[in-house]
Structure 1
């Protein structure tokens, strides 16, 4: 008898370790194809000798009003510089000389460097709605308008760099602002403009503008950076163009209300900044000569010059606490409550002791002398008694 046993299909089982390997491979593939935000690759733009200029033009520099430029001012190949005074340049002026020519040459290199950096982020044509931009290369497809507040956030990295590539014009609205936060530095912000730039009335701008054509800074606008035009004019109207210390930009500081809008413009940084910031940081440089702070009463004639750094004011508190802050020799030299040069103590000269002359002893009166008509001598008294007794015996 034959048993008919039905065939049962064998189950193919996948070993556990193979399944684990497959899961890892699949996960890696998914991560690889998932789009992620590119890491910022912006690098600092080499300005060369152009970095010493606050304003540099190709044809002319024209100023109206009490503008203050903390760094050098130059033009090349053009020669015309007008409006200084009343404008004030705390650096040097260069009109079509070798220095300006070299600065323009270095500006071309810097402009090309900024334009050639790879893009990290697309830049909208309308910015300034309170958005925050991270470090990196931000590239626009056309002209850009800044309408309000734009925040640049370094996320705690003082070396963070922003490069803005704008192929056409840049225009900022009145009272618009570029704000720095979390260690962002105005020294590391670059605007490469393929045409012209116009900075709006009473606005606050940050960074180095490198315009192919012209730059117009309208009434009351402040730039914490530079205005460098390659081929055409730079026009100013009662502006402060300075450069704050690198690595110190913060929201509300140089960009929003410190040296830019409150300090240099109204005299804050101008009168108190000479000791701590000076021309280098944009403090006194921005409002010094215009308001009479560092240029006329502060570091130049009073604080640091006479009582500040020269005599110890600036070092011990003269220029910093009393000298340039109050604007003159009274603060610098005296330092306010003893911060200036201490007076030398008077030398004590001991008096010579008087020579002691011993007094001559008084001569005693000789004994047995009559004093004042009275008998004071005992011997005389006895003689008189003897004579009296002799006379009495004879009479008897």
Structure 2
């Protein structure tokens, strides 16, 4: 099942806008000839569970230590890397392999870091979640600061449905908390990405794989249908049962996609009879294709839908407004609008600046100043300055003559 995730509110990248008009005695600026449309918000999605790599086989994986008190049972592997402190087994039982400070444990930690990066990159369906008690959530990506659970949370979906919770700070569950899977939903596909530490309190049944930056701890009587994976800290267990999910899709076939975001400036102007070569570029995965969705390119120019290149030889002077859209199958698309001025042969141009038709005194391509206006204003100011100076000299001489007389 493919998750279609809506983008979060975020800071927009610098808008492509017209410059402001400054009024001054000798400076007159003009509008740009190429104007970009506002950017779309890129969204990163995944069409299946997160690929845990070799970390998928572990019920517990830690970096600094694994500590147990009491009758804990881990139905899955136990791993520790790079440190070597594993205590409390026995009395704890590991129904799997113990990999401590060895190559498999190090590889699992590397795979965990990759999985955490993917989980963090996904665009939330819902932002600002906190206390989850009483909610019935459909598949998606849910983000918040501290995420907590003190009562019942229901996850309703199918065996292919995926839930990803992004806690920027902590994950805390309390006595009386419970996660209910409905409609065929599977513990294989529930992931908790935690920015610091997770605490699963005493007696709280828990569902899903915890991917924590630092540490994870459980209270006595906690039952986990999932995995406890910590990338830099310890996993501390007290009388806990951990059942690593079995029969899961390992996520290796899941595709992470990022919607396109155009990174190039609006297309520049050109000259009739002169080869034109510019490119619309974008980020995103997979690569985008490009189409003209509004307006038209100047006659003689064509768009390469694969590379985004706009090439050819302009044949007709004029001003042409065109919108080019980048699409890669992951919403939203991104578009850029350009106003392309094509001028007759011999019209001066400055590299990197849009062309200006000959005789158009409203724009200067090199400075943006108004040519005739600048000359007139500058000349006027110079003339006024000379006249004022002459008048001042005449006045001083008259006063001196009067005093002398």
TM-score, length of structure 2 as denominator length: 0.49
Mapping for residues 1-396 of structure 1, pairs under 5 Å: 43-128=48-133, 130-140=134-144, 142-154=145-157, 157-246=158-247
Q: Tell me if structure 1 keeps the 8 A contact 2:204–2:222.
A: yes
Shift of 1:244: 4.0
Between Structure 1 and Structure 2, the one with more helix by share is: 1
Shift of 1:43: 3.4
Partner of 2:30: none
Aligned partners of 1:67, 1:158: CA distance in 2, in Å? 29
Aligned partners of 1:112, 1:42: CA distance in 2, in Å? 16
Aligned partners of 1:49, 1:80: CA distance in 2, in Å? 21
Aligned partners of 2:246, 2:55: CA distance in 1, in Å? 17
5+ long unaligned stretches in structure 2? 1-42, 249-405
Aligned partners of 2:91, 2:128: CA distance in 1, in Å? 39
Give the secondary structure class of the aligned counterpart of 1:101.
helix
Aligned partners of 1:143, 1:210: CA distance in 2, in Å? 15
Shift of 1:162: 0.4
Q: Tell me if structure 1 keeps the 8 A contact 2:129–2:142.
A: no
Structure number with bigger Rg: 1
Give the secondary structure class of the aligned counterpart of 1:126.
coil
Shift of 1:243: 2.6
Aligned partners of 2:188, 2:198: CA distance in 1, in Å? 19
Give the secondary structure class of the aligned counterpart of 2:151.
strand
For each residue in 1:229-273, what CA deviation from the matched residue of structure 2 results, as whole angstroms up to 9, or x when unmatched?
0000000001100134458xxxxxxxxxxxxxxxxxxxxxxxxxx
Give the secondary structure class of the aligned counterpart of 1:102.
helix
Give the secondary structure class of the aligned counterpart of 1:121.
coil
Q: Tell me if structure 2 keeps the 8 A contact 1:42–1:163.
A: no
5+ long unaligned stretches in structure 1? 1-37, 248-396
- Asked which structure has the greater RCO (Cα within 8 Å, sep 6+), the reply is 2
Aligned partners of 1:213, 1:43: CA distance in 2, in Å? 26
Shift of 1:123: 4.5
For each residue in 1:37-56, what CA deviation from the matched residue of structure 2 results, as whole angstroms up to 9, or x when unmatched?
x9x86631110000000000
Q: Tell me if structure 2 keeps the 8 A contact 1:42–1:135.
A: no
Q: Tell me if structure 2 keeps the 8 A contact 1:41–1:136.
A: no
Change (3 A) 1:41 1:48: closer
Aligned partners of 1:84, 1:123: CA distance in 2, in Å? 40
Runs of 4+ in 1 over 6 A off after TM superposition: none
Give the secondary structure class of the aligned counterpart of 2:132.
strand
Change (3 A) 1:147 1:194: same
Q: Tell me if structure 2 keeps the 8 A contact 1:42–1:136.
A: no
Aligned partners of 1:143, 1:85: CA distance in 2, in Å? 34
Aligned partners of 1:179, 1:66: CA distance in 2, in Å? 25
Change (3 A) 1:42 1:217: farther
For each residue in 1:55-104, what CA deviation from the matched residue of structure 2 results, as whole angstroms up to 9, or x when unmatched?
00010000001100010001100101000000000001011100100000
Shift of 1:121: 1.5
Q: Tell me if structure 2 keeps the 8 A contact 1:42–1:137.
A: no
**What is the root-mean-square deviation in Å for CA atoms of aligned residues?**
2.0
Change (3 A) 1:244 1:107: closer
Change (3 A) 1:65 1:138: same
Give the secondary structure class of the aligned counterpart of 2:91.
coil
Shift of 1:213: 0.4
Change (3 A) 1:235 1:131: same
Q: Tell me if structure 2 keeps the 8 A contact 1:76–1:97.
A: yes
Give the secondary structure class of the aligned counterpart of 2:176.
coil
Between Structure 1 and Structure 2, the one with more strand by share is: 2
Residue correspondences, number:
207
